[in-house]
Amino acid sequence: MFEKIERETSNNERAEKALICARRVGFRYSAEGEWILKNFSFELSAGEIMAVLGPNGRGKTTLLKLLIGLVKPVEGSIRCGGRLSYVPQVSTPAFDYKVLDMVVMGRAAEIGLFAVPGARDYKYAEEALLRLGIADLAQRNYSRLSGGQRQLVLIARALVSAPCGLVLDEPTSALDFKNQDLILRTLRQLAEQGLSIVMTTHAPNHALHVASRILILEQKTEYLYGPPSEVMTHEELHRLYGLELKKLTFEHHGQELQSVVPIFS
C-alpha cells in the first residue's frame, strides 16, 4: 500500500517535469473502426530521447501523427510543453531544391498564405544549418546529397521553427554505419541542448545507444514503456522480433556497451 503511493508520487513528479505527456491515449479513424492505439501513456522530459519500437503496421506512424497534432486523440490526452517538429524519412523529392530553400520551408507555418520567406526566415534557416554543422551545404542541390546529409537537412528544417522537440520517422533506416552514427550523434547532441526527441526505429541497437526511454508497441492495444534496462529484456526483444537473439554486454575503452545480435536461421 505504502509502496504504491510512493510510486504514484514519483510518477506525478515525472509528469510535472515532462515536456510531452500522453495520458491513456486511444485512437481510431472512425467511430466503429478498430482501435489502432489504446490506453497508452508516457512522458518525456526535456533532453530525453524516446525510441519507439514495434513491427510495421502496429501504429508507429499514427503515434507520430498524434504527437505532431495531425490527428487528435479519440480518448485521453497528449499534452505538450511546446511545438514538436516532424522529420520525415529521407526520400527522393519530385522537385529538387537548394538545401537552403528546403530548410526555409520549415518556417511555412509562420509565413502567411500569400507571403514568401523574408530575410529573418533565411537567417533562421542558416542558423539551423550552422547548428548541425552543414552550413557549407546551403547552396547545394538537395537530391545530390548523401542519405545522411539529406537526413541532416531534414532535421535542420525541423529545427527552424524553434521546436521544443523533434519527432523522427526512422531517421537511421537506409543509411550506412557511418551515416547512422552521424545521425545518432546529432540527435544526442540536440537532446543535450534540451530538446525532447521521439524516434521510431527498427534497430534495437540504436535505441540502446541513444534512448533513455523506450516505447514498445506490441499486439493490438498492449504496449511497454520504461527505461531501456527495464523494457529491453531478452524475453521482450525475442517476443518483439520473433527470432532468437542475444543481448551482449561488453567493454570498449573502459565503457560498458550493450548490443543486440540476432541469431539468423
Of 48 and 169, CB closest to another protein: 169
**Positive/negative CA dihedral, 74, 80, 85, 86:** negative
CA distance 194 to 46: 5
| Phi then psi dihedrals of residue 233, to 5 deg | -80, 165
- The residue within the footprint of another protein, chosen from 16, 70, 189, 234 (CB under 8 A), is 70
At a CB cut-off of 8 Å and minimum separation 6, what does 93 contact? 142, 143
Of 146 and 161, CB closest to another protein: 161
CA distance 153 to 241: 31
Per-residue contact flags (x/-) with another protein for residues 127 to 166, judged by CB under 8 A = --------------x---------------x---x-----
Residue 220 in grid coordinates: 493490438
Site stretch for another protein (CB under 8 A), options 104-112, 180-188, 196-204, 210-218: 104-112
Site stretch for another protein (CB under 8 A), options 10-18, 95-103, 226-234, 255-263: 95-103
Which residues pair with residue 251 across a beta bridge?
A: 256
Minimum Å distance from CB 165 to another protein?
13
- Which spans of this chain sit near another protein (rule: CB under 8 A)? 68, 70, 86, 88, 93-98, 101, 105-106, 108-109, 111, 113-117, 141, 157, 161
